[in-house]
Amino acid sequence: MNPLPFTDPKLLDEIKRFTRTKTIKAGETLISPGDKVVFVPIVLKGVLRIIRQGGGDKEIFLYHLYPGQTCAMAINCCQADKISAVKAIAEDDTEVLQVPVNLIDDWFKYPEWKMFVNSTYGQRFTELIEVVDLIAFSNMDKQVLHYLQQRGRAAGTKKISITHQQIADELHTHREAISRLLRTMEEKNLVRLGRNTIELL
* Cα distances (Å, whole numbers) of residue 159 to 42, 94, 125, 197: 27, 20, 29, 7
Residue 137: pLDDT above 60? no
Provide the pLDDT confidence category of residue 141 given band limits of 50, 70 and 90: confident
Q: What share of the chain is helix, strand, coil (3-state, %, to 5)?
A: 45, 25, 25
Give the tens place of pLDDT for each residue, 12-28: 999 999 999 999 999 99
Question: For every residue of 170-196, which 3-state class applies, written as one string?
Answer: HECCCHHHHHHHHHHHHHCCCEEEECC
What CATH number was assigned to the domain covering residues 9-136?
Answer: 2.60.120.10
Q: Is 123 helix (H, G, I), strand (E, B) or coil?
A: helix
The domain made up of 139-200 has a fold known as Arc Repressor Mutant, subunit A (1.10.10)
Confidence band of 46 (pLDDT split at 50, 70, 90)? very high
Cα–chain center distance at 167:
15
Hey, where are the domains in the chain?
Answer: 9-136, 139-200
Nearest to 65 by CA among 116, 120, 139, 119: 120
Identity at 46, one-letter amino acid code = G
Question: pTM of this prediction?
Answer: 0.70
Give per-residue pLDDT as tens, 182-197. Answer: 888 888 888 999 888 9
Q: What gap in Å lies between CA 126 and CA 139, rounded to an integer?
A: 20
pLDDT tens digits along 152-167: 999 899 999 999 988 8
